Structure 1
Amino acid sequence: MLAGSVLSVIAIAATAVNAANLGNPIFQQGQFSQQVYDGYNLLKHFGGNGPYTDGVGHGIDRNPPAQCEVDQVILIHRHGERWPDPSVAEGMIAAYKKILNTNLTLTGSLGFLNSWESFLDTPSLWAEETYSGPYAGLLNGFRRGVDYRARYGHLWNGESIPIFSSGYERIIETARRFGLGFFGYNYTDSAYLNIIPETADQGANSLTPVCYTESSTTTYGLSNFTQFASAASRLNAENKGLNLNASDVYNLMLLAPFELNGRPFSPWTDVFTLDEWVAFGYYNDLGYYYGGGGPGINTSAAIGAVYANATLTLLNQGPSVGKLFFNFCHDTNITPILTALGLFVPDKPMPVNYIKHDSIYKSTNFVPMGGHLVLERLSCNATSEHEAGTYVRTVVNEVVIPREDCQDGPGFSCPLANYTQTLNETLPDFRTACQVPEDYPQYLSFFWDFNQTNALNFQKGPIPYQLGATTWNDQPLGS
C-alpha cells in the first residue's frame, strides 16, 4: 500500500509538470516579453520636434567590449527640448485661432479646447529651452552630463577641459547644463566654455559651417499624403463650420510635441490617429532628408566633412591631445555629419509621394531634441578573435551603430586604420565643394586652439530673445 501511494504521488506530480509544460497557468511568465512597442510610441513619430528618445538598438552592448577601454570621447549634441521658433509658433497659433474664432462650443476630438490653456502666450520664451515638465530641455542637458560623468568619468583627472558651443542661446544653455552635470561643483573652475559664432565668416572653423554653392532642391508637400486632408475632413465633420485644411492640421499636430517639451501631457496627441502620426513623422523625415542636411542634398556631405575630418585627426592623435571633446549645436548641423560618415543613408532616394515604412532615415532615431552622436576611441587587448589595437565605435542616441563597410572589430567596431582609410577616400573637400572664400578660415582649428577661460561658463544677465546668433563674448549680434 505504501509503495502504491508513493507511485500515485509521483504520477500526480508528473502529470502536473506535463500539464504546466503544455501551458498550464501555474507556470511562470516567459523570460522575455514578446511585445515591442517602439512603433506605437508617438515620440517616435514626432520627427525632430519632440522629446528625446533613445535610438532603436541592434542588440549590441552600449558598454565597451570586455577587452577594450574607451580612451577618447568626442560628443556632438543637439540642444535640449525647447519651445517653437517664432516662425513655427506663428503657424501653430494661426491654426489654433482659426478654431477659436468660430466661437463654437467644440465637441468630439477637439472638445478639450473649451478649457485648454495655450503654452504659446509668452513670445519671449519662444525658441528657448523648456524648464518644466519631465521632458524639460534644461533637464535633458544636465541629465546627459550626469550620465556621461558616470560612463566616461575615468577619462577626467580633474584638469580643465574645453566645451564647445555654437553661438545660439539655447545651444549655450544646453552646454552649460551638461557641464554642470558632468563636472558637478567643479564646473566653475574645470570647464572652458568656448562659444563659436554662427556666422558665415567662420568658414570651416565652425560647428555650423555653410556651403557657398547652390544646394539641390526637391519639391513635395502635404498634398502628397492623404492623411492630412483626411484628418481635416474628420475634424470638420465633428464641428460644422471649422473649415480646416491640410496645412492647418499639420500646424495643429505640431502643438503636441512642442507642448510635451514643456508639459507632462498633451491632449493634442489624442486628436489624431496613429496613421496620421506616422504620416506626420515621415513628412518630417523628408524635411531633413531633402532640406535639413540629409543625404538628399548635394552639399550635405561636404558640410559634414568639416567635423568628420577634424574628429578623424583627433582620433589619430589620440588621448595625448585630449580625452574629452564635448560639442553642442543644432539638429541640422548633426545631420550633415551623419551623411558625411555614411550613417543612415538609404540606398535609394526617399519617395515623396508615399510613405516608405521601412526607411532607415527616421529623424527621431538621430535628431530628436537632445539627439547626439558620440565617437569612441577604443584601446583593446588581443583575444583569440581580434588583434590588440585601436578601434572606433559610433554611438547615436545611446545605440551602437556599426559601419556597413567596417565592423570586424570588438563589439562590431572598426579598426582606426580602416576607419581612417575609408574617410580619406570618401569625404569630399569642403573648401572646394563649397567654394569657401579665401579670406575665411579653411580648417577647423578650435579643437587645438581654444580659449582657456571660464568667463562664459554661466549666463550673464537676462536670457535674450532669440532672433539671432550670439557672439564669442555671449552677447547677441548687433548689441
Structure 2
Amino acid sequence: MLSTFIAVLLALSAAQGISIPQLDKIGKIGTQEKIFRFLAGNAPYFPYPGDYGIPSDAPEACEFTQVQVIARHGERYPSNSSGEKLFNTWYKLSNYTKAFNGSLAFLNDDYSFFIGDVNYLEQETTLENSANPLNPYTGEMDAKIHARRFLAQYSALLENTTNFSVFSTNSERVHDTAKYFIEALGPQYKVSLQVVDEEPSSGANTISAGYSCPAWNGDAYDNITEAFSDDYLEEIATRLNKENPGLNLTKNDSFLLFDWCAFEISSRGYSDMCGVFTPDELIKYSYYDDLSSYYTDGPGYWMIKDVGANLFNATVKLLKQSEELDQRVWLSFTHDTDILNYLTTIGLFDDGRPLNASSVPFRDNFFHKSWQIPMGARVYTQKFTCSNESFVRYVVNDAVIPIETCSSGPGFSCPEDEFYKFADVRMQNLDFVKACNVTSVSNITQLTYYWDFGTKKYNATLLDE
C-alpha cells in the first residue's frame, strides 16, 4: 500500500515539476516503522501493537447503533519550545567544521534541516509544508485516510443523514485534523465543525479538561521519574563526540535527537537521525517516556482519573441516550494528554501495578504511552445490537481492547447494563470540578457542547498551540 502511495506521489510530483529526492533517499521511506512504538508518541500513527486479533467490525448478526470517536491531531512539527531546543542542537551540528564520522556521517551529504520554516512549529504536517514532497506520513493524509476507513466501516450509521456536527478543540492543528477528516468524508455530508475553546475559562465545557485544572501538578512525582537512570543519554553523547572530536554534544542534546528522529519522519518520511540509536537506547528512552507519562498524565497520578472523568461521563451519557438522539456518530478531536486522561478513567491500560524507576519491567508493563496515543491516535466506543440486546466495547488504534472485567458479549464486548454498572464503579468518588479546583478559573461546571451545539454555535478563535 505504501509503495502504491509513493508511486502516485512520484507521478504527481513529476507532473507538477516538483523536485524529486534521489532514489536512494526514496528507498528509505517506509522502512522505519518498527521503531515508531519507541518514539514517545511523536512518530507517525501506527496500530496498537498489543492487538488480540479480535475483528473491529460488528460481530455476526449484530449492527452498530452508535459510534463515538475521540481522536488526536495528526502528525505535526515540534512545539515552539521543543523546536527552539532542536534548532540549538542543529546549530551546534551545522557549525561543526569537520567532516562527520559514524552515525552522523549523513550530515555530510548536503543535509537540510527538516524544519524549513520556524512558522511550521506547532503546525500539522501537510503535503505543502513537508520537507519531502513524497512524505506519506503527513497529518493531512493521515486524517483523510482515517476518514475513508471510518466511512468504510460505519457509513450505515450515516444513512439518511446529511447534516451532523464534528467537535474539535481550538488548537489550530487539532482543528486542521478535523477539517481534513471532514473533507475526506465527501460532499454528500454537510458537516458543521464545532470548535470548542480549550482555554481554562471554558471550565468543564471542554474536550481538553487538563487546561481547566489549575490544581494539576505535573511535577508531583518527579522523585520517581528522575530516579530512572539517564546514563544511556550520556553514552550517546560520549559515542558521538568520540567519533567527532570537538563536537561537544551533551546528554540534553542526546535526548533531543530522539525528537529529531520522530518529527523528521513526519516531515520527510524517514530520518537518518534515527540510525544514531542502538536498540537498547530506544527501549530505555521509550520506558522513560512511559514512566514520565504514567505519573504525570496517567494512572500513576491520582488526579488524572478525575480529569478524564469529565469526558468519560459525557460519553456514557451519549451511550444511554443513543435511542433518542438524532445523531448516531460522534466525532471529537483533541490532544494526546486528553486521550490519555480519558483512557485512565476508563482503566483499559491500568493493571494496578505501579511503574518503577529501578529497571525496565519487560514482563510486567501493560502501560505503553506511545502505543495508546501516537500521532493521529483514535479511541472508538462502539455500541451495537444483537437480537435486541445492546453491547459496548472499545477500539484503540484499530485494536479491540476488551474491558477486563466485562467482556462476555459478542466480540468480547460488555453487555450494556453491565457496562453502565462498570462505568458507575469507575466514576465513584470522582469529581473533576472539585479535584481540579475548576471554579478558580471558570464558573462553568458542566460539559454541554454535545447537547447544546444546535442552539449555541461553537466557533472559538484558533490558537497556535
* Cα distance change, pair 453–420 in 1 and its aligned pair in 2 (3 A): closer
Q: What RMSD over aligned residues (CA atoms) do the two structures have, in Å?
A: 2.1
Q: 1:202: Cα distance to partner?
A: 1.1
Q: 1:222: Cα distance to partner?
A: 8.8
Q: Distance in 1 between matches of 2:423 and 2:81?
A: 38
TM-score of the two chains, using structure 2 as the length reference: 0.85
* Aligned with 1:92 (options 81, 86, 96): 86
2:64 counterpart of 1:58: no
* Aligned with 1:109 (options 103, 116, 120): 103
Conservation of the 8 A alpha-carbon contact between 1:72 and 1:319: no
Q: Distance in 2 between matches of 1:176 and 1:82?
A: 15
* Cα distance change, pair 116–337 in 1 and its aligned pair in 2 (3 A): same
Q: 1:474: Cα distance to partner?
A: 3.7
Q: Distance in 2 between matches of 1:40 and 1:121?
A: 24
Q: Which portions of structure 1, spanning 4 or more consecutive aligned residues, are displaced by more than 4 angstroms?
A: 451-454
TM-score of the two chains, using structure 1 as the length reference: 0.82
Q: Render the CA deviation track for 1:72-126: whole Å, top value 9, x for unaligned.
A: 0010100000000010111122222223333221111111112211012311111
Conservation of the 8 A alpha-carbon contact between 1:52 and 1:368: yes
Q: 1:231: Cα distance to partner?
A: 1.5
Unaligned ranges ≥5, structure 1: 1-37, 382-387, 455-470
* Aligned with 1:371 (options 354, 365, 377): 377
Worse-superposed segment, 363-372 or 323-332: 363-372
Conservation of the 8 A alpha-carbon contact between 2:39 and 2:258: no
Helix, strand or coil for the counterpart of 1:41? helix
| 2:137 match | 135
* Aligned with 1:249 (options 243, 254, 264): 254
Q: 1:272: Cα distance to partner?
A: 1.2
Q: Which runs of structure 2 are paired with 1:288-437 in the superposition (5 Å)?
A: 288-291=293-296, 293-321=297-325, 322-358=327-363, 359-381=365-387, 388-427=388-427, 428-437=430-439
Worse-superposed segment, 267-276 or 335-344: 267-276
| 1:151 match | 153
Conservation of the 8 A alpha-carbon contact between 2:32 and 2:270: no
* Aligned with 1:169 (options 168, 172, 177): 172
Q: Distance in 2 between matches of 1:436 and 1:234?
A: 48
| 1:46 match | 39
Q: 1:213: Cα distance to partner?
A: 2.4
Q: Distance in 2 between matches of 1:242 and 1:312?
A: 55
Q: 1:319: Cα distance to partner?
A: 4.1
Q: Render the CA deviation track for 1:367-412: whole Å, top value 9, x for unaligned.
A: 000001110011112xxxxxx5111010000100001111111111
* Cα distance change, pair 179–222 in 1 and its aligned pair in 2 (3 A): farther
| 1:443 match | 446
Conservation of the 8 A alpha-carbon contact between 1:43 and 1:51: yes
Amino acid in the other structure paired with 1:41? K
| 1:67 match | 61
Conservation of the 8 A alpha-carbon contact between 1:211 and 1:299: no
Helix, strand or coil for the counterpart of 1:395? strand
Helix, strand or coil for the counterpart of 1:327? strand
Helix, strand or coil for the counterpart of 1:318? coil
Helix, strand or coil for the counterpart of 1:185? coil
2:465 counterpart of 1:472: no
Q: 1:178: Cα distance to partner?
A: 0.8
Q: Distance in 2 between matches of 1:39 and 1:159?
A: 40
Q: 1:453: Cα distance to partner?
A: 9.5
| 1:119 match | 114
Conservation of the 8 A alpha-carbon contact between 2:213 and 2:436: yes
| 2:270 match | 265
Q: 1:269: Cα distance to partner?
A: 1.4
Q: 1:422: Cα distance to partner?
A: 1.6
Percent identical among aligned pairs is: 32
Amino acid in the other structure paired with 2:302? N
Conservation of the 8 A alpha-carbon contact between 2:228 and 2:359: no
Unaligned ranges ≥5, structure 2: 1-30, 128-134
Conservation of the 8 A alpha-carbon contact between 1:142 and 1:177: yes
Conservation of the 8 A alpha-carbon contact between 1:51 and 1:261: yes
| 2:23 match | none
Q: Distance in 2 between matches of 1:104 and 1:282?
A: 35
Conservation of the 8 A alpha-carbon contact between 1:192 and 1:453: no
Conservation of the 8 A alpha-carbon contact between 1:72 and 1:318: yes
Q: Distance in 2 between matches of 1:357 and 1:95?
A: 32
Helix, strand or coil for the counterpart of 1:129? coil
Q: Distance in 2 between matches of 1:54 and 1:392?
A: 21
Conservation of the 8 A alpha-carbon contact between 2:197 and 2:460: no
Q: 1:475: Cα distance to partner?
A: 4.7
Amino acid in the other structure paired with 1:83? Y
Helix, strand or coil for the counterpart of 1:186? coil
Q: Render the CA deviation track for 1:151-192: whole Å, top value 9, x for unaligned.
A: 10001123311100001100000001111122x0234xx111
Q: Distance in 1 between matches of 2:454 and 2:112?
A: 45
Q: Which runs of structure 2 are paired with 1:75-90 in the superposition (5 Å)?
A: 75-90=69-84
Amino acid in the other structure paired with 1:97? Y
Amino acid in the other structure paired with 1:88? S
Aligned length: 414
**Structure exhibiting the larger radius of gyration computed from Cα positions:** 1
Q: Render the CA deviation track for 1:426-456: whole Å, top value 9, x for unaligned.
A: 21122222233186222111111104799xx
Helix, strand or coil for the counterpart of 1:62? coil
Worse-superposed segment, 415-424 or 122-131: 415-424
* Cα distance change, pair 86–275 in 1 and its aligned pair in 2 (3 A): same
Conservation of the 8 A alpha-carbon contact between 1:406 and 1:413: yes
* Aligned with 1:229 (options 224, 227, 234): 234
Amino acid in the other structure paired with 2:424? N
Q: 1:228: Cα distance to partner?
A: 1.6
